[in-house]
Structure 1
Amino acid sequence: MELRHLQHFVAVAEDQHFTRAAERLMVSQSGLSASIRALERELQTPLFVRTTRRVTLTEAGRALLAEAERVLAQVRAAHEAVAAVQGVLRGTLALGTEQCIAGVDTARLLAGFRRRHPDVEIRLRQAGSGALAEEVAAGRLDLAFAVRSPGDAEQLTAVPLTAEPMVLLCHPGHRLAVAGAAVTPEDLGEEVFVDFHPDWGPRRITDAAFAAAGVRRTVALEVNDVHSLLDLVEQNLGVAVVPRHFRHKRAALAALPVKGTGEAVYRTVALLPPPSATSPAARALMTLLEAEPSSGGA
């Protein structure tokens, strides 16, 4: 099994199309098809289901994809490690982050990294913490700034960034804001909630806290960005349980402490693969983060 076969296989899996993958790899389509056939012969199983419009992975292909991505990530890390020993940091830094993550100013951090390491290509992806953890574990990301969850892959290293309580945000005219007291999940059972998609860190924390309290809640308004959530709450269309630093993004909203949620604390971390698989670029970024700590959100 040759590395180029794995590279070709991953490209076709990502693009779901032989022509687009061949163009991206700058190889002929016939050569790419031959490479995939050689891999299928060696493994003695089809890896793709081919149609006139696209190709999809077979069950064997899905199993191979995770391993192929890990192998290619390790090969890339090996090349970058040799370059680092030679005194030049090269290659790619693939970073993932949730929106408005606390404990790190991502834009400022990446600007500082680029000034110090101009030969490294920076790639940034925003997603929910669950997806980011999976991508770090699979080798598609070098590291991610995320919210730690018990369901994340055990082999990941979690470097703490910050921790803060969750608060309830609501319209200043809402009955709870008028009362001005701390609230419990039981107080909120009849409320309509604005929240993020289930993969987001704050949503996962809130879902777990309400489940532990035995209180069902209705998430009627589901969004995938912070400002939409704040807009909906400001229009009194629902309430939201969010990390405390969100309150500073919309001063007009009332923020109330949330009690009776046990361990419902928003804890952000840098998620990295095991030390042996951590790329030199990821280590350099972490060194810069430790030297220039920031409590700001990105």
Structure 2
Amino acid sequence: MDTRQLEYFVAVAEELNFTRAAARLFAVQSTVSAGIRSLEHDLGTPLFERSTKRVALTSAGSRALPEARSAIEAIDRVRSAAAENSRDIRGRLRVGIFTSLDYLDLPGLFGEFHERYPLVDLQLTASASGSTGFTDDVRRGRVDLAFMGLAAQDLAGFQVLELTRSDFVAIVPSSHPLAGRAQVDLAELTTETWVDTPAGFGNRVIIDRALAERGLSRTIGAQVSELGAVAQFVAAGLGIAVIPIVAYSPTPATSAVTLEPPVTWSLSAITRPGASPAIAALLDLLAERFVGARRA
């Protein structure tokens, strides 16, 4: 058994596809397949059920997967512990990101991280199911760290670094009767057609919860997978929206109205307890950028 075999196993287990796993590892598929067969021979049991249509973990494979991930992380810790300076930190770092919040400046953030830690294999991915999808990804070890828009009550068991808080605002077309109002109650918006993100996105979870707590319901006419694009659909006349103010870019075609009573959205980074050196380095950079700036 060697490290590369464990990497093959984890990749195939996460992708459930040998071709995608090989592409992810920049390896030839036959090499990955041979490595898995060798590992199964060494362990004395099959790790995958294979057919022409699907690949699935066996019960033994499911039990072995978290241990394989831990073994790879332990090896990364050994290499990082022996490093002469922080630039020698090694390891794979898989990060779940939002792609539509300019506030985060993720290109700049990860560009700086790569410059500081060039030996870290940085892999960025988005989730089609938003924050709830990322919590499952982090919990199951498919992602090491994820940006998150859920409330603290939804994040039990994770290491959580809160980056910022933002109040929700109602976004309406500039011609709407509510435009120019100083504030609006959620109840006044329930007769409108809404634009929102899909179920599972953190901002949607929080607003759904706020409505439910007051016994309110609404009609959603359009679901947009990019939070930052919601206001554009409001501008096009497809409805009103309620989104965090940090996700709103003012335009002449829309107006933002403060909610009263307020509803707050928290943006955090989450990871499993016991962070690897690479994860710890990214958390430190996030704290510098966001927590430090908030305290300054």
Scaled by the length of structure 1, what TM-score is found? 0.80
Change (3 A) 1:39 1:172: farther
Partner in structure 2 of residue 182 of structure 1: 183
Deviation at 1:196, TM superposition (A): 0.6
Partner in structure 2 of residue 163 of structure 1: 165
Unpaired runs of at least 5, structure 1:
none
The answer to whether 1:94 aligns with 2:97 is: no
Aligned length: 287
The answer to whether 1:120 aligns with 2:120 is: yes
Deviation at 1:287, TM superposition (A): 2.5
Change (3 A) 1:85 1:144: farther
Change (3 A) 1:35 1:251: farther
Partner in structure 2 of residue 81 of structure 1: 80
Partner in structure 2 of residue 10 of structure 1: 10
264, 279, 283: which one pairs with 1:282? 279
Partner SS, residue 178 of structure 2: helix
> Structure 1 CA distance, aligned partners of 2:85 and 2:293?
34
Unpaired runs of at least 5, structure 2:
none
The answer to whether 1:273 aligns with 2:276 is: no
Partner SS, residue 162 of structure 2: strand
Change (3 A) 1:203 1:129: same
The answer on whether the counterparts of 1:172 and 1:253 sit within 8 Å (CA) in structure 2 is yes
The answer to whether 1:233 aligns with 2:230 is: no
Partner SS, residue 207 of structure 2: helix
The aligned amino acid for 2:176 is: H
Q: Where do residues 1-298 of structure 1 align in structure 2 (5 Å cutoff)?
A: 6-18=6-18, 21=21, 24=25, 25-26=27-28, 28=31, 31-32=34-35, 34-35=37-38, 37-38=40-41, 41-42=44-45, 48-57=48-57, 61-62=61-62, 65=65, 67-68=66-67, 70-72=69-71, 74-84=73-83, 88-101=88-101, 104-127=104-127, 128-150=130-152, 152-177=154-179, 180-260=181-261, 264-274=263-273, 277-293=274-290
> Structure 1 CA distance, aligned partners of 2:73 and 2:33?
28
Deviation at 1:252, TM superposition (A): 3.3
Higher alpha-carbon deviation: 152-161 or 13-22: 13-22
Deviation readout 1:171-222 (Å, 9 max, x if unpaired): 01112226x2422222122211111112222111111111111101112211
> Structure 2 CA distance, aligned partners of 1:62 and 1:192?
45
Change (3 A) 1:95 1:197: same
The aligned amino acid for 2:266 is: R
